[in-house]
Amino acid sequence: MKRFLATTALTASLAMPVFAQDTTAPETNTAPENGGFIQTADPQDVMASDFIGKRVYAMSEDAAVAEEGVAEADAAWEDIGEVSDVILARTGEVEGVIVDVGGFLGIGEKPVALTMDSLNLVPDSNSPGTYFVTISSSREALDQAPAFEATQPAEMEQAEAADGTVATPLEETPGEEVDMAEGDDVTADPMAADPNSSEEMTEMAEAGDNAADEAEAEMNEEVADAEATMEEAGDTASEEMAEAGDAMEEAGDEAQQEMAEAGETVEAAGDEAQEEMAEAGDTAEESMTAEEEVAEGDAAEETVAPEAAETDMAEAPADDAGTMEGFTRDGYSEVMVTELSSEDLSGLPVYDSEDNRVGEISEVLISSDGMVTDAVIDVGGFLGIGEKPVAISFDGISLQKQAEGDDLRAYVNTTEEQLKSFPEYEGG
C-alpha cells in the first residue's frame, strides 16, 4: 500500500521540476470530469516503483551537466547510498525521500531524510526515460547529518459523516447500563458480536512475531556468512603471503649458491691462468737459455749490447702501439698528460679506436728527470684476476675529455689481442 501511494504522489508531483535541465512543470493530471482517474502519465513523470532503490551520487556544486544528460555516472561522482522510502504529506505532496547511507551488505546503514529540492535527476542520454539521482553534497556531510527517525502516526481523527456528524464509540460505565432505543440491536461488546475477531487478532500477532523472528534469523545468518567469508579471505591472503615469502627466501638462497659457485669457478679459472702463465714463462726461459748457448762463440758484431737490448724492449710497446697524434672523438677534446695528475690517470679506462674497452691504466711511469713517459695498462683478466700489465709510451695514447661533462678516457691505436701480445711489464 505504501508503494502504491508513493507511486501516485511521485507521478503527480515530481514530474520534471527536479531535473536541473528542465524547469518547466507539466500540467497537473487532474480530470474531475472522468471520475478523478488518470489514464496516462507524462513521459517525464517519475514512478515511485522505479525511484525507490535508485543509487544516489554526490557531486560537487560546480559540476556541469549538459542538457541532454550523461551516458554514465561520472567518475568524480561518489556513490553514497540508495533511496529506501518516500515521505508523503497527507495532501499527497512529496515532502522528501529517505536515503540509506553507508554500511556494508545492508548492515550499519544510516537513514537520512532529504528534501526533494536538494535532489537532481540527471537524464541518461543512452536510455531515454531513465535518469541518475544526484545531490550537491558529500558523503562526509551526509555521515554527519542526523539520522531520520520515523515517529508513530498520531491517532486518526474521527471521520465525519456525510451530514457533518462525528461517529463516537460507545463508552460503557461500570455498574451502569446503556439505554437502548426500542428496536435497536446493538451489542455492547463488539468482540462478543464477532467471536472470531480475537482469534484472528491473535493469529495476526503470532504471524507478525514469526515474520520478525524469521527476518532476524535471516539477518543473523547473512552476518555470519559475511564474517565467515571475510575470515576465509583473510586466511587465504595470509597463506599466499607466507608462500610468497618462502618462495622469495628460496630464490635468495639459490642466488647466493649460484654466486658462490660462480666465484669458485672464477677463482679456479684465475688459478689455471696463473699456472699457464707460469708454465709459459718457464718455457720462454728455457728457450732463451738454449738460444744463448747457441749464440756463444758468435762474432762480436752480432752481439747486442745489454744497454741497446733494454732500450729496444722499452720502446717496442710504443712502436707497436703506434702514434695517436691527431686522434679525435666526437664530443671530446684532447688533453695533455701534463695537465693531469697521477691520481687522475690511475684507474682511467682505456679504449681502442672503435670505442671497445681494452683495459685500464694501473700505473704511470716517470723518468729520472720527472717527465711522464709510459703508462702501464692492465689487459684481459676477469674481476681483476688474470690481468696482464703492459707498458705503452704516452706517444701511443690519446687522452680525451668530454666537452660537456667530466668523462675522461684514454685511447690507443691497438686492439685488446694486440696488447696481450706485448711483453709483460714486471715493474722496477
DSSP 151-166: PPPPPPPPPBPTTS-B
Q: Position of cell 659457485? A: 261
Number of domains in the chain: 2
* Boundary residue ending a domain (144, 160, 185): 144
Whole-angstrom distance, CA of residue 154 vs CA of residue 161: 21
Residue 227 has pLDDT above 70, yes or no: yes
Among 16-25, 100-109, 136-145, the range with the most confident prediction by mean pLDDT is 136-145
pLDDT level of residue 17 (50, 70, 90 thresholds):
very low
Give the pLDDT band (50/70/90) at residue 127. confident
The highest-confidence range among 116-120, 292-296, 405-409, by mean pLDDT, is 405-409
**What amino acid is encoded at 122 in this protein?**
V
339 found inside a domain? yes
- Residue 294 belongs to some domain of the structure: no
- What CATH code is carried by the domain that includes residue 22? 2.30.30.240
* Grid coordinates given for 69: 544528460
- Cα(355)–Cα(412) distance, rounded to whole angstroms? 10
Query: Residues 189, 171: contact at Cβ < 8 Å?
Result: no
Q: What is the pLDDT of residue 13?
A: 44
* Local structure of 392: helix, strand or coil: strand
What percentage of the chain reaches a pLDDT higher than 70?
67
Residue with more model confidence, 316 or 366: 366
- For the residues 145-171, what does the mean pLDDT come to? 60
CA distances, 58 to each of 84, 134, 138, 141, 219 (Å): 17, 6, 5, 10, 29
Q: CA 177, 180, 184: angle at the middle one, nearest 5?
A: 140
Flag whether 354 is in a domain: yes
Average pLDDT over residues 161-167: 54
- Among 129, 144, 159, identify where a domain stops: 144
In the block, residue with C-alpha cell 738460444:
291
Report the side by side order of strands in the sheet with 110-115.
110-115, 94-101, 78-88, 55-58, 131-135, 119-123
Residue 19 phi, psi dihedral angles, 5° rounding: -75, 130
Model pLDDT, residue 116: 84
Over residues 3-28, the mean pLDDT reads: 43
Whether residue 198 lies inside any domain: the answer is no
Query: To the nearest whole number, what is the mean pLDDT of the chain?
Result: 74
Distance CA 372, CA 366 (A): 4
pLDDT digits (tens, 9 = 90+) for 205-226: 788 788 888 888 988 999 899 8
Average pLDDT over residues 393-418: 91
Q: What is the pLDDT of residue 281?
A: 65
Please name which of 125, 115, 165 lies closest in space to residue 145, comparing C-alpha atoms. 115
Q: Which residue has the higher pLDDT, 170 or 238?
A: 238
Burial class (CB within 10 angstroms; exposed 0-12, middle 13-18, buried 19+) of 95:
middle
**Which residue from 398, 392, 401 is spatially nearest to 419, judged by alpha carbons?**
392
| Region of residue 358 (phi > 0: left; psi between -120 and 50: alpha; otherwise: beta) | alpha
pLDDT band per the 50, 70, 90 thresholds, residue 411: very high
Residue bearing cell 515532502:
95
Sign, CA dihedral 305-306-311-313, equals positive
**pLDDT greater than 90 at residue 359:** yes
pLDDT of residue 398: 92
- As a whole number of angstroms, the distance between CA 128 and CA 43 comes to 10
Asked if residue 164 is part of any domain, the answer here is no
- pTM exceeds cut of 0.75: no
Closest Cα partner for 49 from 13, 23, 85?
Answer: 85
- Is 250 part of a structural domain of the chain? no
User: Can you give the length of the chain in residues?
Assistant: 428
Give a yes or no: residue 75 inside a domain.
yes
| Residue 159 covered by a domain | no
Cross-strand pairs, 83 = 99
pLDDT at 390 over 90: yes
pLDDT band at residue 38 using 50, 70 and 90 as cut-offs: confident
Q: Cα separation of 78 and 98, whole Å?
A: 18
Residues β-bridged to residue 78: 58
Residue 191 predicted with pLDDT over 70: no
Q: Alpha carbon 258 to chain centroid distance?
A: 34
Who wins on pLDDT, 129 or 100?
100
Of 118, 144, 170, the last residue of a domain is 144
Task: Domain of residue 78: give its range.
Answer: 2-144
Closest listed residue to residue 60, CA positions, set 139, 123, 130, 121: 139
Identify the residue whose cell numbers are 729496444: 312
